[in-house]
Amino acid sequence: MSKSDLPTLLIVEDDEGLQRQLKWAYEGYEIVIAGDRKQAIELLRAHEPKVVTLDLGLPPDPDGVTEGFATLEEILALQPGTKVIVASGHGARESALKAIALGAYDFYRKPVDIDELGHIVKRAFHLHEIEDENRRLESAAADDQTVLGNIVSASPEMLKVAHTIERVASADVSVMLLGASGTGKELLAKAVHDQSPRKEGNFIAINCAAIPENLLEAELFGYERGAFTGAVKTTEGKIELAQCGTLFLDEVGDIPLPLQVKLLRFLQERVIERIGGRKPIDVDTRIVCATHRDLDAMTADGSFREDLYYRLAEIVVPIPPLAQRTGDAVLLARYFVGKYAKDLNRSLKGLAPDAVDAIDAYSWPGNVRELENRIKRAVIMADGKHVTAADLDLQGNAGANNETAINLRAAREVADRKAIHQALTRTENNISGAAKLLGISRPTLYDLMKQYKLSA
């Protein structure tokens, strides 16, 4: 093995005699040595060492620990995964506690015992290698658990939805997505567009509930210059902007009745007129819409036109709430922790066990949107290396969800499937870990997975 293939160990030490001693004490590593913070950071950037040994007594404060702790914080800010082994002879206990709290991997007290330090260094490299492998596996697992390009899920319930979306995307029909707020209806609408022959066209979205009734018509159909006070120029509406693409009408159940008539006419004739205009404009666009409202009840009481409903709902796709998506809450939580830790520059390692338990038990009335918001806040507020149930404000907040079945055999299968899927999700598809969590042997788990046609 050439020297360049060896793992790099950075030694930060200002004592030249100890520098020489440490440099020749280790075999199997490429050794780089720094005598102060500036040099240490330069070598860190240049070599990206997996392990660093750091003397806290660095110039210009060789008899204290201030410069050493500043170096530790800067190393971990630049490379959060680095294993930093801190050394000091100054107030060893207090320094050790502070170093570990700041994120150091280990601490040893001077004078240096080369053999003891060698074991600590070797263990640090081994742990770094394991963590690297785990990150690679998690990344691969995340890729495997992404459906329709950008939706994170591994639950049978959402895989069924994804299969439906893939089937209907290629057919140029109107699609109605029915689901509670926060279930990801716009992401699914975008997936319909991206999987369709219209994917090169525009995807235009409008939230019909967010725009005042007197402005919604102008937003949808556009207007001519001078059509009303303030119309200083001709403006295309959302329908026209979606030419050769997809128009997503979110919360379509909130469209007022008079505007429903005009929308129905467009769907029948595929022609619009801007407000204040007299020229018919042909528009070729696909309609995907969504609502959390009960449109069947609204058509029955006359608040939503039945003929419009049937035009919009050529294909209806129900979206399950997060509480009914087996194992997805924990899977999504891990995804969001990784995403926001990176976006917000937080060196977090993931979810603490109590956070996993709390997420799994909570009923998530706000669905994926609530989960994402809680995770983002927790990533900002977390004091430790893992997001805890307290960070998520989920302590004592669990709300269990019970599945029902019509007979004992069906109930057993529902319970088995759910427990196996949750165990695999929580152990990141580790068969041994999942079997241990379920209290069964590996062969038994394999048999159950085969029986229920489940895969890790």
Calculate mean pLDDT across residues 348-375: 91
Question: Does residue 372 or residue 6 have the better pLDDT?
Answer: 372
pLDDT at 373: 95
Q: Is the confidence at residue 116, as pLDDT, over 90?
A: no
Most distant CA pair in the chain, distance:
91
Q: Give the pLDDT band of residue 91 (cuts 50, 70, 90).
A: low
> What is the per-residue pLDDT across 307-336, written as a single tens digit (0 to 9) for each?
999 999 999 999 999 999 988 999 899 999
Contact present, 298 and 304 (Cβ < 8 Å): yes
Please name every residue paired with 151 in a beta bridge, in sequence order, or none if there are none: 147
Q: At which residue do the structure tokens 């993931």 appear?
A: 350
Of the candidate ranges 56-60, 149-153, 203-207, 388-392, the one whose mean pLDDT is the lowest: 149-153
Q: Is the confidence at residue 11, as pLDDT, over 80?
A: yes
pLDDT at 239: 97
Task: Using a pLDDT cut of 70, give the percent of the chain over it.
Answer: 91
Q: Is the confidence at residue 124, as pLDDT, over 60?
A: yes
By CB neighbour count within 10 A (0-12 exposed, 13-18 middle, 19+ buried), where does 159 fall?
middle
146-147 and 151-152 beta bridge pairing: antiparallel
Q: Give the pLDDT band of residue 134 (cuts 50, 70, 90).
A: low
Q: Is the confidence at residue 141, as pLDDT, over 60?
A: no
Question: Does residue 415 or residue 184 have the better pLDDT?
Answer: 184
Question: Does residue 413 or residue 182 have the better pLDDT?
Answer: 182
Task: Using a pLDDT cut of 90, give the percent of the chain over it.
Answer: 48
Alpha carbon 277 to its chain centroid, in Å, reads 46
Calculate mean pLDDT across residues 291-319: 94
Question: Does residue 19 or residue 44 have the better pLDDT?
Answer: 44
Neighbours of 135 (CB within 10 A): 13
Q: Is the confidence at residue 377, as pLDDT, over 60?
A: yes
Q: At which residue do the structure tokens 């490429």 appear?
A: 30
Calculate mean pLDDT across residues 60-64: 84
Q: Is the confidence at residue 90, as pLDDT, over 50?
A: yes
Euclidean distance between CA atoms 201 and 219, whole angstroms: 19
Euclidean distance between CA atoms 114 and 120, whole angstroms: 10
Nearest to 378 by CA among 321, 335, 337, 420: 337
> What is the per-residue pLDDT across 202-215, written as a single tens digit (0 to 9) for each?
999 999 999 998 89
pLDDT at 145: 64
Contact present, 177 and 317 (Cβ < 8 Å): yes
Calculate mean pLDDT across residues 239-248: 97
Contact present, 356 and 331 (Cβ < 8 Å): no
Euclidean distance between CA atoms 195 and 191, whole angstroms: 6
pLDDT at 399: 41
Mean model confidence pLDDT for the chain: 86
Euclidean distance between CA atoms 348 and 152, whole angstroms: 20
Q: Is the confidence at residue 25, as pLDDT, over 90?
A: no
Calculate mean pLDDT across residues 359-379: 93
Please name every residue paired with 52 in a beta bridge, in sequence order, or none if there are none: 10, 84
Say whether 147 sits in a helix, a strand or coil. Answer: strand
Calculate mean pLDDT across residues 189-196: 94
Beta strand segments in 324-447, E: 350-351, 386-387
By CB neighbour count within 10 A (0-12 exposed, 13-18 middle, 19+ buried), where does 242 fall?
buried
Of the candidate ranges 34-48, 88-102, 117-131, 426-440, the one whose mean pLDDT is the lowest: 88-102
Euclidean distance between CA atoms 359 and 374, whole angstroms: 10
pLDDT at 400: 40
> What is the per-residue pLDDT across 383-441, written as a single tens digit (0 to 9) for each?
888 999 999 998 755 444 433 334 555 667 777 877 888 888 788 788 888 888 888 88
Euclidean distance between CA atoms 13 and 16, whole angstroms: 8
